[in-house]
Amino acid sequence: METYIGILIFVFIIFSQFKYYKRIDFQSKVIKVVFAIFLCISLLIIVPLLFEKFKYSFSAFCKQCPLYGEGIKSGLPFTEYLKYFFSGIFFYFITIIPFIIVFSVVAAFLKKLRIKSFKNPFISFFYASIIPVCSCGIFPLIYSLENKNKMQTFSKLIFFLATPLLSPIIIIIGIKQLGGHYVLARFIYSFVFVFLAAGIIMLFLNFLREKQEPENMVFKCSQDFPGTDINALNNSINLTSELLPAVGLGILIGTLTIILLPADYVNIFFNTNKLGIFLISILGIPIYLCGGSDILILTPLVVMGLPVSYSLAFSTTGAGICFGSIPLLFKMVKWKFALLILILYIILPPLLGILLHLIWPEIPLIDRGF
């Protein structure tokens, strides 16, 4: 069944990439009813996830995930590749879209209230660490936050970068799987990464010296998306419809990556010392991980000897950025800064992992892992 639904989703994603998609009247009564139904379904999907451990990155599709199952072996008939591809689209879609819909509604209500961005970056980091949102779900939320000066822009960057890396769910799973020292190391690592990356972005902003309004410096969502002149429901629908093409493109890219990435290559990244932390960190980018699923994947490897610093570099790229969220990144952030953020995710995690390994080479773990 999921294969056939995946085909329908694939057709819709392709359709959304063309100008005909823009001709849809998203304020019609039919669209509003459909959106309300999908919102209720999304809530039914998300709420249990907030109280139960997040499943692996592709839910049931994880059985074909290169990190856990047999992977997609070479020599399979082309029809089998298509089956896995459309099944992957289905499970990727139901993993991401509920968060986009729910947090688009949240963002619309926050925008309606004219909520301002956090003035203090440390408070921004704190709030980011207690919100269970993935790297795709954060984009609707940043749309709702205003930034009138450079300090608020800096705080908004902190919130944007930190939210996917820490959450109560990640903390609970981390303590249960690897122990309190691991969670402490992850918190320190994430804190340094977020503030260092945001600081570099602000230095780059000062270097460019662009003559623009403060709210249009880094994020372009405030000028390109609907404001507060319409009701929250219409605003939610507009925001979701604006994000869907980029989300769909990300789903296609992410699914193709999982399908085409040989399982043996993935195992080599984790099981050899020669390739090192840089390749392990880069490996996290193509894979969609959120809500602590990276910890579930890495627990057996860490217990078997993978350095915690290596695992944190992988977790940062896997949770903070992925092929599924890259199109959204360029949709919501100015392209110069989006490119810089992508580069920082490639360079900083392994460097910080090496530094952490030098400072704290033996991080105590709990005896039981998995």
Q: What is the pLDDT of residues 357-370, one digit of tens each?
A: 889 888 887 654 43
pLDDT over threshold 60, residue 186? yes
Cα–Cα distance, 18 to 11 (Å, whole number):
12
Token code pair at residue 72? 């997609």
Partners of 146 in the beta sheet? 116
Query: pTM score > 0.75 for this model?
Result: no
Number of Cα atoms under 13 Å in the Cβ half of residue 71 = 15
Q: Which of 89-98, 286-295, 299-308, 319-328 has the lowest mean pLDDT?
A: 286-295
Question: What pLDDT is stored for residue 211 in this prediction?
Answer: 52
What integer pLDDT is reported at residue 57 of this predicted model? 38
Distance CA 271, CA 273 (A): 7
| CA–CA distance, 248 with 244 (Å, rounded to integer) | 6
Task: Summarize pLDDT for 76-117 with one digit per residue, the tens.
Answer: 677 777 887 888 788 778 777 887 788 778 777 766 665 555
Amino acid at 173: I
Average pLDDT taken over every residue of the chain: 75
Domain residues of the chain, as ranges?
Answer: 2-359
The Cα-based distances of 342 to 72, 165, 322, 325, 348 in angstroms read 28, 15, 10, 11, 10
Fill in the amino acid letter for 71: G
Give residues with Cβ within 8 angstroms of 274, minimum separation 6.
none
Q: Enter the DSSP assignment of 333.
A: B
- As to burial, measured by CB atoms within 10 angstroms (0-12 exposed, 13-18 middle, 19+ buried), residue 126 is middle
Q: Please state, as a whole number, how many other Cβ atoms lie within 10 Å of the Cβ of residue 315.
A: 28
Cα distance between residue 198 and residue 108, in whole Å: 25
pLDDT tops 60 at residue 268 = no
Q: What's the mean pLDDT in 165-190?
A: 85
Per-residue pLDDT of 56-82, as tens digits, reads 333 333 444 443 444 455 566 777 778
Which range is most confident: 112-116, 227-231, 348-352?
Answer: 348-352
**CB-based burial of residue 324 (10 Å sphere; 0-12 exposed, 13-18 middle, 19+ buried)?**
buried
Reported as a pLDDT band with limits 50, 70 and 90, residue 191 is very high
On the 0-12 / 13-18 / 19+ scale of CB atoms within 10 A, 365 is: middle
Contact 284, 314 (CB under 8 A): yes
pLDDT by residue (tens digit) across 8-42? 999 998 998 887 787 888 888 888 888 888 888 88
